Amino acid sequence: MTSLKLSVQIAWVHLVTKPKQTLIAMLGVTFGIGMFIAMVSMMTGLNDLTESLAMTSSPDIRIYHDVTTERKSIAEELNLNGITKVHHQKPKNESLKVRGAVKIAEQIRKHPLVKGASVLLNSQVFYNYGPVQLNGTIAGVDILEEDKLFDLKSKMKEGQIENLITNQDGILMGTGLAKKLSVRTGDRVVITTPQGFTKTLKIVGLFQMGIGAVDNVKSYANLGMVQTILEKEKSYITDVNVKLYDFKQAKAVAPEFQQAFGYKSEDWETANATMLLGVIIRNILTYSVAITLLIVAGFGIYNILSITIHNKMKDIAILKAMGFAGKDVKQIFMVQSLVIGFFGSLLGLLIGFVLSLLISRAPFDGGDFLSIEYLPVNFSSTYYMIGIVFGIVTTALAGYLPSRKAANIDPIEILRG
């Protein structure tokens, strides 16, 4: 029989003869790990949802003409040798048109990282239905190209995207906007452009991206029709949308396009910065709370082992007299803390899983902002791995100091009485 096996047996007897104490120490770890799992699962679930919504509702890269970009003033251009400063520059009255947009899109499609590119025309409009008047946007698109990028077919709640092709004066409306206007498929709405042009359009379908910022304001229409109501020429395009094979490379690729075409090129992370900031803050919160819980559990274990060792001074002395070395005694108490840590963590994972399951079944109304019925929960095994590793490491650390104390106890001091 090896020395370790004997240490494990003695440790085991210690644990089972004081079941209440063992259980309390274990529950400390269980609670810490369980809450960690539940919190991380919920937070990352929410983060993943936010990220995927940000992804589906906006292109990986959007190329447009940014009229607010800083430009050289005339004074600077004329006074080359002097020092000129123009304060509070007013944006130049420029057209939002992206020149040669179709050619740009063609070139972008040849890029090896690009999955697809489409051109569109975005404009602010008023939607009127009876007395209701709402501010929103309209996007003139080639609906089939748009579908390739955003998988619109799967987002349709009523009607089909092909209806737009057969019906030149049709529009596909966001569900949120339709609800606000209280219109249904087949109804006719009147739209008014900022220039005062008015046109009656027929709703041929409703889509839902799942994110209020889009569904509550946006409609799709045919490119040619939007060009007509804005009284613009056939080449008038305001945006080129780009989808990459790997959306994570958007930030790296975007400046490349800006350089090549001379138009503002914005990646999805920049466009959804506020939304993604929430992700970062939630992560910080989750991890700080989880780590605090585990540290508290660690102190609990330290405390209970310290008391155990204090109560077992005589036993430790007798073990040492009988020929157990300091390291054997240390082993006995390390085994105890590791058993507490392992089973406590394991139970914690189970409780964390059950909690996550309950959370994922809890009805939750995302309101206008997010269209979800239940809280999103991430069941990724990564967090369960982190949980058990962290649980065992904390308990090992919490057990080490008291164990070392036990190893260094001088038996004579105790045996002399």
For another protein, the binding residues (CB under 8 A) are 1-3, 6, 13-14, 17, 314-315, 317-328, 411-412, 415-417
CB nearer another protein, residue 196 or residue 417: 417
CA distance 187 to 183: 6
CB nearer another protein, residue 247 or residue 324: 324
Closest among 296, 291, 305, 374 to 333, alpha carbons compared: 305
Nearest-approach distance from CB 318 to another protein, in angstroms = 4
Backbone φ, ψ for residue 219 (5° rounding): -135, 150
Nearest-approach distance from CB 372 to another protein, in angstroms = 54
Nearest-approach distance from CB 395 to another protein, in angstroms = 22
Nearest-approach distance from CB 416 to another protein, in angstroms = 7
Q: Are 375 and 362 in contact (CB under 8 A)?
A: yes
Instruction: Count Cα atoms within 13 angstroms, Cβ side, for 346.
Output: 6
CB nearer another protein, residue 105 or residue 332: 332
In DSSP terms, 201 is beta-bridged to 189
Degrees, nearest 5: CA angle 104-122-164:
95
75-89 per-residue burial string, b: 16 or more CB within 10 A, e: under 16: eeeeeeeeeeeeeee
Largest CA distance in the chain: 104
CB nearer another protein, residue 253 or residue 316: 316
384-416 per-residue burial string, b: 16 or more CB within 10 A, e: under 16: bebbbebbbebbbebbbebbebbbebebeebee
CB nearer another protein, residue 8 or residue 156: 8
* 321 SS3 class: helix
Nearest-approach distance from CB 301 to another protein, in angstroms = 20
Nearest-approach distance from CB 311 to another protein, in angstroms = 11
Q: Are 402 and 305 in contact (CB under 8 A)?
A: yes
Nearest-approach distance from CB 312 to another protein, in angstroms = 9
189-226 per-residue burial string, b: 16 or more CB within 10 A, e: under 16: bebbbeeeeebebebbbbbbbbbbbbbbbbbbbbbebb
CB nearer another protein, residue 127 or residue 324: 324
CB nearer another protein, residue 17 or residue 274: 17
